[in-house]
Structure 1
């Protein structure tokens, strides 16, 4: 009996959650056994592929061993697709001075997304007549070259260097419509009216902040009970009709659908304080992300817009005082957030990172001056910074107060430190 041919595949790790599946190869079968996973996989045929004519494989999920007995793969599953090529690793190509097929493809993709002002995998598929995996690999290469931004809430945009003013205006408008709808959706869930300063930031209309809140929170959400996507599109249409806003076309509708899909869920009332506090920090970082992408500055007081004073741990100086001093300056935390966003850290991760450092100690005006004033005026010059060589990962959050020799009782919810003794 003739021994079956065996084909070996090299497989990168994939995501978890894959299932056991079986596929027919002629009269034989292929077994995909799910193993440990990590990133979206790609693989290539290492052996002789003549017994599998035209087989080009792409996988949605599992890391696996594939042994086949020759013949033709036939599968209706989306885990093994005939006709889908493995994703090329375009990001590894750094030198573009000489011409190769891969470099030429990157150059064509670069021209297309800039000329069309549309960083879209689907666009590259259509224009270059390539498969999804190849187009996605090209988008990753363009991201590595800082032509397009990382994907945020499901969407990418051109970096500021390549966006036209019109494209930038449209992208800003789209994001603000979505963020306004998401903000009020969350306020609805939490039974809150929202801080007016946060509402002012999200206000995309010519209405007053209170009228804007009534339009979205009261009309769209509470009365009409629209979904997040429906509320976002209703706001976009309202702006087009009443405020001469950006035209609400099919492309904007599609982009809003992608954005809203990330947060899609039915209304879920939230009353747990811990959940509300964590969501408040996430909203703060979203705000900083939006100002960063728009190329605008963010005021250090933005922490007060999104995080209610009742949710900020508070300690008290031994000398009394009525000045609420942030133990780590808000400007310092703001800059840290923006830097981490620029590194590609997720909004949720950054919210978790900064939360332990947002705390207040009530001190006297004299103690405040000691912290804020420059050394020339008898102070430490620590208004917006931490002491020299302070480390964010391991540093003492109360280091500024210790440097100024301010005696205090730390917030009860925070771990006490070896501070300046009373």
Structure 2
């Protein structure tokens, strides 16, 4: 549904609470706002009421430079990672973009401006800024920073309208009422009160001002803002990349960072070093396997978590809480079975693992060879999947069968069949 932002009340509206990933917070720009322009403010309330904006007229900063507006502001973010690069786009909302004074003023109700930071090796290498209908890209050497935060300024372009420029040495002290560089509460793509609020913001018609982090414009904007020569793919499909989100607290809460199919030390991911030995829960995309390790470079105890369902699922780490220092993320075929060396909750150490899908091999003929023969203590059985375990190779001897006829994975401890399986068969139940 396309909403008309002009139908909402013209009062200062409440901002959303800060809720973004550690990665996005680590590199968020800090802002100043030149005096001949508006303050950033909130584009939508927690209840989903959009900002009506301001009609043109009066001063170029008329009715839009009240401290209450900046105090009720947000920055909105969305990111994409591939080919060794992470792009984070930060969007700022202003209630009008006026170029001239008086009743015949030119410009438009509403303004959206954007900054993209380009991260490689845990450092911003480029900063791109929206400039009217295009983008300006600068290397790191042109950017002033406070820690990892690039300094940028909302600026009036002569007789034209406003855009974001890089800060320079003449911008100290900042001109906003606080006298300091300002960082509005940050709202990440998954940080809205609910999906309906996010959809309302992304689908609202802001007239000549366009929000670039919505599905309609995000990829094109990244492609236009991309520095020349880097291998980043703006059109890569994030929805099929088996993401895992790592959280500092239980139940998918607290600071977080996100990664997809990879074999990483926690600190090697941008913003990840903060999380070493601090991860308490994880959220896995459908058909995704995470193996967490006690030490960097995949050493020490290991613990395997499988989401072989069609839904995103969150898992508390319980006995492996605050232990992960490195990890592996892999896509998982449907109707798979993962064999674990140890019982699943044995001090958080599930040991070696081996995953197979619908097939009939013996362990001796599997990709890991005979090394897993008589070693399995746990099986994680995918949705609508059956596994038959046999005591001997070639499906001989005693037999044990585990059936999962649900739409999510199930964990089975091999009671009575511990360290006995030498061959197996896997089949679909539907």
Structure with the higher fraction of residues in strand conformation: 2
Same fold (TM over 0.5): no
Which of these two proteins has the greater Rg computed from alpha carbons?
1
Q: Which of the pair is proportionally richer in helix?
A: 1
Larger RCO, structure (CA 8 Å, separation 6 or more): 2
